[in-house]
């Protein structure tokens, strides 16, 4: 059972059916109660917690033992801190087996804008970068708390220039600073570039579910952590954050297997002593 209100079923169901024969059906539950992209409902859970909570909402609403849900975030990349990054997680919760199996995909091709404008002319340069109208937009007044905005001042899923202009002019008039914020609507049914990444995450989850634990045969065998710690090839300094492989594991039992990378030393270019 896939819990979603934003048309994720065609992105998630086909890979799971093709790889593991799991027939996924959708149910619409109020996943926005756990937080929204626009921010009118604050997000208080981590990505993993939110995905599992959504899956359990679907399971409870339909009285079933297996639930699926996805959660995404679009923000500056947590590794580099610079490039805009879309991180998508899909989690499967199996109450009978007592397991949670998740996969995450990180992608840098997301189409997303967020800028303030003081008039309609200021919107026009944004439209190409926003890939409008293929990607839909949100408009709201700048300078007002988003949690208190009525629907006519938090306008979502804008798909044509007439509606966009009307929303921009209305929000500028309502803004205490005379500005409207125009931003991408990042909900899954409004963002084709995000939909592609959700589908990639579903493909990754399907491949993981097709792999069984060598010890207990439960589906979901895959990477559970990174192995870290290498010495620099030139200076011999110990680099505790350098990746030296991956740790594979089971979603239910304690079985773990270390898979070292095909290198024994870290490249000097990644050493903070050789390349400060």
Could you report the per-residue pLDDT of 101-145, keeping only the tens digit for each? 999 999 999 999 999 999 999 999 999 999 999 999 999 999 999
Q: Which domains does the chain have, with CATH numbers?
A: 2-108+189-209 (3.90.950), 114-185 (3.30.1490), 222-270 (no CATH)
H or E segment and range at residue 243: strand 238-249
Count, residues in the chain? 276
Q: In angstroms, how far is CA 57 from the centroid of its own chain?
A: 19
pLDDT of residue 28: 87
State the burial class of residue 165 (Cβ atoms within 10 Å of its Cβ: 0-12, 13-18, 19+). middle
Q: What is the pLDDT of residue 276?
A: 73
Q: Is the pTM of this model over 0.85?
A: yes
Q: At CA 118, angle to CA 116 and CA 124, rounded to 5?
A: 75
What's the CA gap between 199 and 107, in Å, rounded? 12
Residues of the chain with pLDDT under 50: none
Query: Is residue 254 exposed (0-12), middle (13-18) or buried (19+ Cβ within 10 Å)?
Result: exposed
């Amino acid at each position: 059972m896939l819990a979603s209100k934003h048309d994720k079923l065609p992105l998630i169901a086909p890979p799971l059916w093709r790889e593991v024969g799991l027939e996924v059906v959708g149910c619409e539950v109020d996943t926005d109660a756990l937080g929204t992209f626009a921010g009118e409902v604050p997000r208080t859970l981590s990505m993993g917690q939110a995905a599992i909570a959504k899956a359990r909402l679907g399971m409870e609403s339909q009285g079933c033992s297996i639930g699926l849900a996805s959660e995404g975030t679009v923000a500056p990349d947590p590794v580099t801190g610079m490039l805009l990054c879309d991180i998508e997680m899909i989690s499967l919760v199996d109450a009978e087996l007592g397991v949670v199996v998740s996969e995450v995909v990180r992608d840098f091709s997301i189409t997303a804008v967020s800028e303030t404008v003081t008039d309609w002319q200021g919107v026009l340069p944004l439209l190409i970068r926003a890939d409008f109208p293929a990607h839909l937009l949100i408009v709201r007044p700048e300078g007002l708390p988003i949690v208190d905005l009525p629907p006519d001042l938090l306008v979502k899923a804008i798909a044509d220039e007439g509606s966009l202009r009307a929303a921009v002019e209305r929000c500028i008039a309502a803004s205490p600073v005379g500005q409207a914020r125009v931003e991408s609507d990042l909900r899954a049914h409004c963002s084709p570039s995000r939909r592609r990444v959700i589908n990639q995450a579903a493909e990754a989850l399907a491949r993981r579910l097709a792999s069984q634990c060598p010890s207990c045969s439960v589906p979901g065998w895959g990477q559970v952590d990174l192995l870290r710690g290498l010495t620099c090839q030139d200076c011999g300094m110990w680099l505790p954050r350098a990746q030296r492989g991956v740790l594979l594991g089971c979603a239910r039992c304690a079985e773990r297997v270390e898979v070292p990378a095909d290198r024994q030393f870290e490249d000097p270019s990644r050493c903070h002593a050789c390349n400060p």
